[in-house]
Structure 1
Amino acid sequence: MKLKKIISLALTVVMSSTLLVGCGKSKKSAQVLNIYNVGDYIDEDLITKFEEETGIDVVYETYDTNEAMYQKLKSGSTKYDLIFPSDYMVEKLISEDLVSPIDYSKIPNYKYIMKDFRNPAYDPGNKYSVPYMWGTFGILYNKTMVDEKDVDSWDVLWNKKYAGNIQMLDSVRDTMGISLIRLGYSINTQKTSEIEEAKNELIKQLPLVQAYVNDDGKDRLVVGDAAMGIVYNGDALVLMDENPDLAYSVPKEGTNRWVDAMCIPKIAENKDYAQMFINFMLDPDNALQNVEYIEYSTPNQAAFDMLDDETKNNPTAYPDQEVLDKSDVFLNLPPKVLKIYEDAWTEIKSQ
């Protein structure tokens, strides 16, 4: 199943790219829904099901990072109808008036969203966003290549004996966040001195790092070309299915507890279709099918209730409260502070 999934996702990226290059922008039609989502992040059979049930054609395109999505959305070059930003990016999009309020009269299946995911700090009242998935990030490591019995600290990523075998995320907030957590600081710090210290630690780590990666690093972890890497928990579950030598750990210092959401851009041309799709994805059967396929953690109570006990009790998918209590949520930071992070990131990547 997982091999089929990987092949299917690769074909989708190729087909989506071909379509978009051919027309220069997303298809414009009263019967088209233009979706922009993170790679490897939906069961595409559900897209087909939605098309068959509604007669609406879906144009589906993928991106690697929130920042890449933001830049394309900000440029206005392509008018997407539905996007899937993370919590802090939702807050940023709201502050810049780039997303539209949700009409919940058209999304009755919102009733299935767990109470813990309603009224979040990044979008009070869920006025602009509907929770899609949630989770953590941590260290995925190969037990045959890592000596430590318990990989329980971010410090292992700075261990010289794993030089050339460590992958880091090519994401400024995530990777700077790891360095900040390791130093005992908040992932949302606005203190220049703490950001500077986190940057310097990542520069020290560079000789040990095999590569900064996103989706492109997953295959290397599966085949054993890297001893460890930073992955989101849902990806960890998929990759551990592929290779039983892999294990996932949330370090004791803490991590990021993230929420990804569905939002409708301000410039969307087919907002009603976007809301139809959101409601479709919140249907318990569809939500269950989706979470079983991509293996991330669902905020949909009805879908969660239908999961098997092994999945419900899997700490990688649904960590216990002790882990969650030590987790932090990324917040949107003031532009002047983000500039400090971005300058630090540029310096790291230019070494």
Structure 2
Amino acid sequence: MKLTPTRAALAAGLALCAQSATAEGKLNLYNFGLYTPPDLLEKFSQEYDVEVTLTDFVANEEAIARIQAGGHGMDVIIVSGYFIPAYVDQGLLMESNPTEMENFKHIAEQWKSIPTDPDRKYTVPWVWGTTGVMVNKKVYDGDINTAAIFLDPPEELKGSINLVPSMNDTIDMTLRYIGAETCTTDRDSLSKARDLLLKAKENWASVDYPSFEKFINEDLNATIFWNGAAARVRGLNEGFAYGWPESGYMKWMDNVAIPSDAANVENAKLFMNFIMAPENAAMISNYTMYSNGIVGSEEFMDPELVNAPELNVPEALQGAAIEQTLCPPEAQDLYTRIWTELTR
């Protein structure tokens, strides 16, 4: 039906009123620390007349424990891809059906289905990235596309290496380095991985989530690290470079989901749709310095970020990516035993 200008204006006004009536209220967001652009929340709040409250967490384990306990009050939560099955199996996520949302069409083809949410019933992309190594090239100018950086380090780096306390990433990359499969229950392979890690530990300065200042000041010169975080460090100390171990590095996506007991469901769905708009996805990338999985977002991103070496895997190393996964219980238990011995 073709609307006259008067009818069109009336219809638009009614639509706006209906949208505001639906959207007004609150939204409680639960995300990793330093992972949410304040201007994104301000834009969403103004656009939909919604008061947004952000609560931070440190790790997936902390987040799921709070959701399991109930009474958390969260409406939107960021979940790493490999943790989605743990939430779904316990009925902790709502089937929000993002494929029916208007902006789902903007998701890049490779991210419309992920192994842990193949039909995208529960989640939409937040950002994606890789876990590899970061090295100060002023201290060591050799090959950095290798897990030897932390497992069999060159003399120049010994004593100034950090290991971020990410159990699965560390053990997965170690297993691949010795030619074994990830999530294995083979005792010989796991023993070799444990022995190598324990020997390598003698060369590490710390197992920590260190402040960026420790790299900027060159107190630490190498670490297992995430590509976006590495880009941030390089921006403050150009000596640092990011490497993708050719034996295997981790590829992951963090996703947005709605807890099954969320109170402000409609606002949560509005937020999911909102972040799939290219200009809004770009705001997330510009703040976190990670890729986002939304087609067209590059137009709104910082050009230096789009072209950042940390966000562009060399073609020769693309096949070495390992999809980040949570291992079956038996393998996970064996991983935990190794990790406990390594970090005590």
Q: TM-score range by the shorter chain?
A: 0.7 to 0.9
1:158-169 equivalent positions in 2, closer than 5 A: 158-159=152-153, 161=155, 162-169=157-164
Equivalent residue letter for 2:268: A
1:55 equivalent to 2:53? Answer no
Partner of 1:24: none
Partner of 1:254: 248
- Which one of 195, 200, 209 corresponds to residue 200 of structure 1? 195
Partner of 1:143: 137
Partner of 2:261: 267
CA contact (8 A) 2:35 2:287 kept: no
Partner of 1:103: 97
CA contact (8 A) 2:128 2:253 kept: yes
Output the CA distance in 1 between the equivalents of 2:145 and 2:231: 18
Output the CA distance in 2 between the equivalents of 1:99 and 1:261: 12
1:154 equivalent to 2:177? Answer no
1:210 equivalent to 2:183? Answer no
Equivalent residue letter for 1:156: I
CA contact (8 A) 2:134 2:240 kept: yes
Equivalent residue letter for 2:188: S
Q: Deviations over 1:5-24 (max 9, x none)?
A: xxxxxxxxxxxxxxxxxxxx
Output the CA distance in 1 between the equivalents of 2:283 and 2:149: 36
SS at match of 2:92: coil
1:271-286 equivalent positions in 2, closer than 5 A: 271-286=265-280
CA contact (8 A) 2:183 2:328 kept: no
Output the CA distance in 1 between the equivalents of 2:303 and 2:41: 28
SS at match of 2:162: strand
**Structure 1 pair 301–190 and aligned structure 2 pair: CA distance change class (3 A):** farther
The CA deviation at 1:224 is 0.9
The CA deviation at 1:331 is 2.3
CA contact (8 A) 1:83 1:263 kept: yes
The CA deviation at 1:311 is 4.2
The CA deviation at 1:289 is 2.1
**Structure 1 pair 104–149 and aligned structure 2 pair: CA distance change class (3 A):** closer
**Structure 1 pair 276–135 and aligned structure 2 pair: CA distance change class (3 A):** same
- Which one of 65, 74, 99 corresponds to residue 59 of structure 2? 65
Partner of 1:177: 172
CA contact (8 A) 1:188 1:330 kept: no
Select between 95-104 and 307-316 the one with higher mean Cα deviation. 307-316
Partner of 2:316: 322
* Structure 1 spans left out of the alignment, 5+ residues: 1-29
CA contact (8 A) 2:285 2:301 kept: no
The CA deviation at 1:70 is 2.0
SS at match of 1:70: helix
Taking every aligned residue pair, what percent have the same amino acid on both sides?
26
SS at match of 2:86: helix
Output the CA distance in 1 between the equivalents of 2:107 and 2:233: 27
The CA deviation at 1:197 is 2.5
Output the CA distance in 2 between the equivalents of 1:221 and 1:178: 22
CA contact (8 A) 2:98 2:124 kept: no
SS at match of 1:325: helix
Partner of 1:4: none
The CA deviation at 1:77 is 4.9
1:82-101 equivalent positions in 2, closer than 5 A: 82-101=76-95
Report the TM-score, using the length of structure 2 for normalisation. 0.86
The CA deviation at 1:336 is 2.9
The CA deviation at 1:304 is 2.8
Greater gyration radius: 2
- Which one of 214, 218, 221 corresponds to residue 227 of structure 1? 221
